[in-house]
């Protein structure tokens, strides 16, 4: 009888063990299925992320292009991008006094300048204008380059005559444009 009970007990353990193995296998299969499903979802999300990255790169490229265009548009609307970088003058006290001058202008615009129309000012260190000389010329100045303009100005007023006593290092010479024509851009009006 002890043997019979022992055999029943062993058979029960074996049956329970076999049933437990099936449960474990089912649970493992469920876990594997869930992992496969998660892996598919991760792959889909990765593809979506890659598409978003490509869209972001395109948008950044468009923004950079727009920023360059805006910078050029802003630069062309600024009337102070034609700078006097060097000047010299000589006073001549003839019967009709005059000055001869050479002024080097630098083009800080993003476009080539073909014509300038404006005034060249000679101011003292206090900001008092001695001479206002009108200039209208066809010139070719590429962006970032300079051109030297020579000219003469008849000294008529007593204020203009004061320039002969001024130290050139104390003078501020600048060009104030009325109109600037560009090669590949609309004209700039600075009235």
Is residue 176 within 8 A of residue 190, CB to CB? The reply is: yes
Which range of residues forms the domain containing residue 43?
1-77
Query: pLDDT tens digits for 85-104?
Result: 999 999 998 888 999 999 99
Q: What is the pLDDT of residue 121?
A: 94
Domain count, the chain: 2
**Domain end position, chosen among 77, 95, 129:** 77
Structure tokens at 61: 């490229």
Regarding whether 52 and 18 lie in a shared domain, the answer is: yes
User: pLDDT per residue over 13-22, tens digit each?
Assistant: 555 555 566 7
Model pTM score: 0.61
Cα separation, 20 vs 172, whole angstroms: 98
Binned at pLDDT 50, 70 and 90, residue 39 comes out as confident
pLDDT at 181 (0 to 100)? 92
Q: Looking at the structure, do residues 45 and 134 belong to the same domain, yes or no?
A: no
**What mean pLDDT is reported for the chain?**
84
Q: Tell whether 104 and 19 lie within a shared domain.
A: no
Res. 154 pLDDT band, cuts 50 70 90:
very high
Verify that 73 and 85 share a domain, yes or no: no
The stretch 27-46 carries a mean pLDDT of 84
Residues 12-44 as b/e (b if ≥16 CB within 10 A, e otherwise) read eeeeeeeeeeeeeeeeeeeeeeeeeeeeeeeee
């Amino acid at each position: 009888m002890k043997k019979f009970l022992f055999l029943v007990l062993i058979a029960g353990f074996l049956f329970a063990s076999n049933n437990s193995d099936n449960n474990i296998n089912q649970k493992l299969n469920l876990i594997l299925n869930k992992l496969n499903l998660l892996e598919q979802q991760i792959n889909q999300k990765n593809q979506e992320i890659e598409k978003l990255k490509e869209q972001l790169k395109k948008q950044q490229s468009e923004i950079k292009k727009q920023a360059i265009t805006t910078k050029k548009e802003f630069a062309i609307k600024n009337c102070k991008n034609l700078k006097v970088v060097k000047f010299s003058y000589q006073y001549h006290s003839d019967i009709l006094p005059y000055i001869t001058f050479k002024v080097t202008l630098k083009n800080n615009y993003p476009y080539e300048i073909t014509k300038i129309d404006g005034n060249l000012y000679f101011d003292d260190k206090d900001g008092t204008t001695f001479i206002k000389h009108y200039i209208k010329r066809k010139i070719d100045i590429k962006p970032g380059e300079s051109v030297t303009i020579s000219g003469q100005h008849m000294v008529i007023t007593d204020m203009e005559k004061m320039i002969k006593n001024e130290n050139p290092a104390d003078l501020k010479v600048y060009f104030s444009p009325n109109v600037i024509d560009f090669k590949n851009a609309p004209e700039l009006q600075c009235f």
